Amino acid sequence: MSVEQGREVDAIVGFLQRIGLGVAREEVGPDSFLPGLAVRAGVLLIDEARLKYPGDLLHEAGHLAVMTSAEREACNGDAGPDGGAEMAAIAWSYAAALEIGLDPQVVFHAGGYKSGGAAIVENFAQGRYIGVPLLQWFGLTTDLTRRGEMRGEETVCYPKMMRWIRE
């Protein structure tokens, strides 16, 4: 792992700890769903010696963040094949990258997303978001189309988040 990748991992881990997601640095076997990452009882396990892409850590955290607390606690291995959860995790991890100050291409790298990471970054940069309706439904954010409906409190619009973890 390069020095820059080490800094990215440290920034991501610090963010995840700050928002209350469990993270542990320990050895992860070669049969994990992504190199250097595993999930045990809702805790992200990171093996920096095997981790190929630091952004994968943030994306997998997104899967955990959009689960209910009961689902999170029961999660072992990977987050599963749910397409809706995947879209929500994509939207969450884009917002998280911006919050941390990471280039979104760290998360949406050429080695993932069926080689579509650059297209995801381009679409999000242009305000064409996928997954945000699910984040709204989970009570994590709103989008600009709902700004006029909100009364009382200041509206937080995606990619800003009201909360980072679903309850």
CA angle 83, 95, 129 (to 5 degrees): 55
pLDDT (average), residues 3-30: 95
Residue 25: enclosing H or E segment and its boundaries? strand 23-25
Q: How far is CA 79 from CA 48, 76, 128, in A?
A: 20, 8, 25
Q: Tell me the per-residue pLDDT of 108-158, one tens digit each, with 9 for 90 and over.
A: 998 888 888 999 999 999 999 999 999 999 999 987 665 555 555 557 789
